[in-house]
Structure 1
Amino acid sequence: MCGRFTLSTEEKELEDKFQFTLDIPIAKRYNISPTQSVLALTQGQNERKAHLFRWGLVPFWAKDLKIGSKMINARSETLHEKPSFRHLIKRNRCIILSNGFFEWKKEGNKKQPYYIQVDNGKPFSFAGLWDTWSNDREQITTCTIITTTPNTLMKELHHRMPVILDKDGEKAWLDESLTDTDYLQSLMTPFASEKMHAYPVSIDVNNPRNDHADNIIALSS
């Protein structure tokens, strides 16, 4: 799964890599947690648009926001079966920006957090879905991160991993004219393990209130 991640890349690097203009203020984040805001991109008519979505999908038909904390991830294999996701796959796709995420490995009687990076810390994107929920007082757009089976690296840490897209995958995922579900499903595969690396970090990351750069410093051996 994916339950915590970071986005601490400089804004200019994000804009250059993902081809968009960042016109909303963002701070460097080292422990992004469920129900918090995440930076997501959708495809506009002529350009990519940046949004701050609430992490944890709340379907438009839900009675309240509480369901979102249980829907931070969506299994790629069952997207077409779940009422919360199946109507989103064709028209409500987004990419969620990150430069690393955390996973917890069971080691004896404890769980050790690990920090996982792609291409030596370069920013990358998760495949996501979004929906807009509203009541008489507010309207909130929420999102979920899609997960898949683990690659060789991630298998040592967890039985699931987030769907990470390459440049071509991002372009296709954001293309609203693509509605072939079989093709979209083909994008939701494990990212190449040789392009990723993981290392243990402090248990400070266990607490969502600890949002600081020390979270991504490797533990000394």
Structure 2
Amino acid sequence: MATPEALIEFTGIPLKHPELYKKSYMITGKEETIVPIITQENKQEISFAIWGLLPENYDEDWLEFQNLVDTLTIKSDELKNNEFINKIKNINRCLILVTGFFTTYLKNGKTHQYFISAKENHPFYLAGYYNKLDDGFLTFTLLLTPQNEIIKKYQNLTKYMPTILDSEDDKNLWLSDEITINQIEEFIPNSSCLPLNITQVKDSLEYS
């Protein structure tokens, strides 16, 4: 995760609650974590949200809920029929600020993990959905789309990847109040042209 200064420089907007921000070198989704996001409701500040959607009136432990219902991610082809998403009254879209994500490739009985990042390691946006709990906290889920040809070379345990939004048009459309589900389905196939660094644990590979 980037430094506060890097986030502000990249987005051009301030942090809403800078005291909440703690830089993390790795986020696994196995524990409650706060991540910077830009919401559809407030595009002028960087907000912070808990990774993993929770029901609005939920007041128990985050981990207990995630053990029952994994809401860290949602696949794009399940948007219309996802029962949990459809029950959330105040669900909206957000941009998730990251410096990269991990993929895993199984070969000859062994797993190889790769870190996917942007050139020069600057932050970039992933698409997601968020909601606001009754106590005011935000929670979010990552939107997954079918993996592109680049990621296929470094991931074979799933056919999906996070949705990278790197063009201004896509970012503005994703946070627009006017966008329809049909428009979302049209641009959701991952066509990002963001130049990527692909780094293995021991070996470093570069793709541009």
User: 1:92, CA displacement in angstroms?
Assistant: 1.0
Q: 1:3-31, CA deviations, whole angstroms, 9 ceiling, x for partnerless residues?
A: xxxx12x4333223323112413233210
Cross-structure match for 2:74: 74
Aligned match for 1:41, one of 38, 41, 46: 38
- TM-score, normalised via structure 2 length: 0.79
CA–CA separation in structure 2 for the residues paired with 1:16 and 1:113:
30
Letter of the 2:170 counterpart:
G
Distance 2:104 2:161 in 1: 12
SS of the residue aligned with 2:8? Answer: helix
Higher relative contact order (CA closer than 8 Å, sequence separation 6+): 1
Is 1:153 aligned with 2:150? yes
**1:39-95 CA-partner distances (Å, limit 9, x unpaired):** 1111446x4232221111113366854333511110011111112224669951111
1:153-204 C-alpha deviation (Å, 9 max, x unpaired): 11121421100112221112112x22411112223221446722312116xx
Whole-angstrom CA distance in 2 between matches of 1:30 and 1:144: 20
Q: Which residue of structure 2 lines up, in the alignment, with residue 189 of structure 1?
A: 189
Aligned partner of 2:94 in structure 1 is: 94
RMSD: 2.8
1:28 aligns with 2:23: yes
Stretches of structure 2 that go unaligned for 5 or more consecutive residues are none
Which is worse superposed, 144-153 or 63-72?
A: 63-72
Aligned partners of 2:7, 2:137: CA distance in 1, in Å? Answer: 25
The answer to whether the 8 Å contact 1:32/1:38 transfers is no
Counting matched residue pairs gives: 193
Partners of 1:165 and 1:187 within 8 A in 2: no
Answer yes or no: is 1:174 the counterpart of 2:167.
no
Amino acid at match of 1:60: E
Segments of 4+ moved more than 6 angstroms: 87-90
Matched residue SS, 1:80 = coil
Contact 1:37/1:54, CA 8 A, preserved across alignment: yes
Secondary structure (helix, strand or coil) at the match of 2:85 reads: coil
